[in-house]
Amino acid sequence: MSAVDDSPIVLPDDPSFGWEVQVDYPGYRSTLWRAPQRPLVTMPEELHDLAGPVYGDETVSPLDADLTRQHEGEPIGERIVVHGRVLDEDGRPIPNTLVEVWQANSAGRYKHYVDQHPAPLDPNFSGAGRCLTDSEGRYRFTSILPGPYPWRNHHNAWRPAHIHFSIFGRLFTQRLVTQMYFPGDPLFAYDPIMNSIRDPESRKLLIARFDIDSTTPEWALGYEWDIVLGRGGRGATPFEEDGR
């Protein structure tokens, strides 16, 4: 794949320099504890040289991309299809890269011991999936619409409905983590996580587009969302600081 740039992402010494996301955003309380206080440490050179991750055909099953078929019954909620492409900054597709997702159920509850808020768990929904992009950089998941949930960051704090995404780039050191949102959510203006992205135009890059073409009659609503792996430039999908 000669067209692919395999150079490692270079991190700046100043933690806040050049990044779209304010890593110590006061409105998002826990960032004050985990934002870097010192210059970043450069990863050992030998990690940059690892030509991976590499996933065999048997490692990732096509069923892993369908979060509605992981249990005996179907999960409760509005069935959705989320699809798009993983691209580099020049619009070139990134094929065969691992895309992982995790999300709350339709009631806004994670299947995780830390999440104890009084909404029901769904025995037919675990909320995690993965797939590899195809030769054109495309990914596709079937799931249910996640619900908003309270998160105690401040008084009356509710997260907009979202799906967490992790994307491996071309090297082990290039795992990137972000969140995808759904269009028209009334909670956007109140969400410190979304608003820790400095540029309002960049925030929009995290919002999927309702897609009638992938909406399936009598079955599921479709959403399209492209992910642009960049170095913090305009047009690149903003990523969380711990996923850089």
Backbone angles phi, psi at 224, to 5 degrees: -120, 135
- Rg (alpha carbons) of the chain, rounded to whole number: 18
Beta bridge partners, 165, equal 101, 178
Q: Is 155 a catalytic residue?
A: no
Q: Is 170 a catalytic residue?
A: no
Q: 164, 170, 203, 244: which one is catalytic?
A: 164
Q: Is 113 a catalytic residue?
A: no
Q: For residues 53 and 116, is the Cβ–Cβ distance under 8 A?
A: no
Q: Is 110 a catalytic residue?
A: yes
Q: 159, 170, 203, 244: which one is catalytic?
A: 159
Burial (Cβ within 10 Å: 0-12, 13-18, ≥19) of residue 67 = buried
Q: 């011991």: which residue's tokens?
A: 113
Q: 25, 28, 110, 181: which one is catalytic?
A: 110
Q: 149, 181, 203, 244: which one is catalytic?
A: 149
Q: For residues 235 and 227, is the Cβ–Cβ distance under 8 A?
A: no
Q: 85, 140, 162, 170: which one is catalytic?
A: 162
Q: Is 28 a catalytic residue?
A: no
What amino acid positions are annotated as catalytic residues? Answer: 110, 149, 159, 162, 164
